[in-house]
Amino acid sequence: MDQNVRAVVIVGGGQAGARTAKSLRAIGYDGALTLIGAENHSPYERPDLSKACLLDAAAMPPSVIDAAFCTEQRIALITARQACAIDRQQRDVLLDDGTQHPYDRLVLATGCKPRRLSLAGLDSRRVFYLRTLDDARALRPRLQPGSSIVIVGGGFIGLEVAAGAQALGCQVSVLEAAPVLLPRLGSTIASEKVLDHHRRAGIDIRLDTRIAYVDGTRLVLSTGEAIKAETIVAGIGVIPDTALAEAAGLAVDDGILTNEFGETSDRSILAAGDVTRHFNPLLQRHLRLESWQNANLQPEAVARTIMGERVAYAEIPWLWSDQGDLNLQAAGAPAQVDMTVQRGGDSTGVSIFQFACGALVGGITINRGKDMPVIRRLLRQAQPIDDPEALADDSKPLRAFLRAGAAS
């Protein structure tokens, strides 16, 4: 352990910030530890906000750490406070209540903020976003049987909200500006299957469609059609919350730039979670991830760096999305795909293998999550798959494609 680290301050009270604090105590850090969050809640996991918390007004997302844990572990948890400035020379953080918090190591886990929908004539009281527990609680009463809900954006959050609203009896429309759903997946097969699933469930999904203008409770679309929208949910992406880092002069480029150890351009300041664009040694490039996996695992590498260890954060990216009775998982981060192999069918679920220049670079499962653990191992093994087309043969166990030593 670095004996010079006697005070650690973490800015960001979400999963990544709380996991950093938890990891520090778990691996033996015994110094002062302060966790600062902008929300008036103890840290929690976000995936349930678009699922269980919309279906049940009384549901609570899983807690990461609570007040009792913080007391037991001597973590000073400060909620409902914003960090305003970082003084890198004096090494302290200024909060909006005027208090200053000195640090030897500072961790920025400020996450992301939703992109705002901007349309002339739009009544902001009918527009909702979904990033926090308070957002979910504000939206839930609007999801009444028969109410018209329009979701702008056909990404993961938009489709999860659409499935939940449809299950509650709402009349749901999804407007997606791109010609396909989930274009980031890089798979037309996956996009078409997800689209077909939701349309068969009764959700009105319109591709290549934008809102031209607003007329009261009607949205006039780029197609010339008009649809009713008592409630609008904007799911048009997020922006990494880098304002604090930028004002402090840290290197920022679509997120706070870090190395594989979580260090920023100032080695006394580290970063974790959605706000980072970190170097991944497995992929040999920087990338920014908005996922539970990243918020859960990257903080451990950051904590070990603070403790004086040099353990690189090197994971194959993986995420999932539960959209009603559709489970979608994706692994890898393919920059390009030149060949696709499909395994399974409508009755058994589908696994999709993405190749570039003969190498497996990504995998997607739709209602076939049993394949994902093996797909993630296949992505980690260095040797190529000898016969990629053989992956389509569902009678051959997927584990048979693992090299010796990669099956564990």
Residue 184 backbone dihedrals phi, psi, to 5 degrees = -65, -20
Does domain 7-113+238-306 sit in CATH 3.50.50.60? yes
Residues 53-111: pLDDT tens digits? 999 999 999 999 999 999 999 999 999 999 999 999 999 999 999 999 999 999 999 99
Residue 257 to residues 245, 250, 269, 307, Cα–Cα distance (Å): 10, 8, 11, 21
Would you state the pLDDT for residue 405?
Answer: 54
Residue 55 to residues 82, 153, 154, 161, 168, Cα–Cα distance (Å): 31, 20, 20, 10, 7
Task: Give the up-direction half-sphere exposure of residue 100: CA atoms within 13 A in the CB hemisphere.
Answer: 7
The 3-state secondary structure of 272-291, one letter per residue: CCCCEEEEECCCCEEECCCC
CB of 37 within 8 A of CB of 13? yes
Domain ranges of the chain: 7-113+238-306, 116-234, 334-401
Say if 7-113+238-306 and 116-234 have the same CATH topology: yes
Would you state the pLDDT for residue 391?
Answer: 97
Residues 295-347: pLDDT tens digits? 999 999 999 999 999 999 999 999 999 999 999 999 999 999 999 999 999 88
Residue with tokens 């997927």: 398
* 404: confidence class by pLDDT, cuts 50, 70, 90: low
Does domain 334-401 sit in CATH 3.30.390.30? yes
Regarding the domain delimited by 116-234, which CATH topology (the fold level of the hierarchy) does it fall under? FAD/NAD(P)-binding domain (3.50.50)
Against a cut of 0.75, is the pTM above it?
yes
Residues 114-132: pLDDT tens digits? 999 988 888 889 999 999 9
Would you state the pLDDT for residue 4?
Answer: 83
Check pLDDT > 80 for residue 407: no
- Return the exposure string of 210-225: e unless at least 16 CB atoms fall within 10 Å of the residue's CB, then b: ebeebeeeebebeeee
Would you state the pLDDT for residue 408?
Answer: 46
Check pLDDT > 70 for residue 215: yes
Residue 162 to residues 210, 211, 407, Cα–Cα distance (Å): 17, 18, 38
Residues 153-201: pLDDT tens digits? 999 999 999 999 999 999 999 999 999 999 989 999 999 999 999 999 9
Residues 258-291: pLDDT tens digits? 999 999 999 999 999 999 999 999 999 999 999 9
Q: Which two tokens stand for residue 366?
A: 């739709």
* 1: confidence class by pLDDT, cuts 50, 70, 90: low
Residues 5-59: pLDDT tens digits? 999 999 999 999 999 999 999 999 999 999 999 999 999 999 999 999 999 999 9
Residues 343-391: pLDDT tens digits? 999 889 999 999 999 999 999 999 999 999 999 999 998 788 999 999 9
The span from the CA of 199 to the CA of 313, in Å, is 39
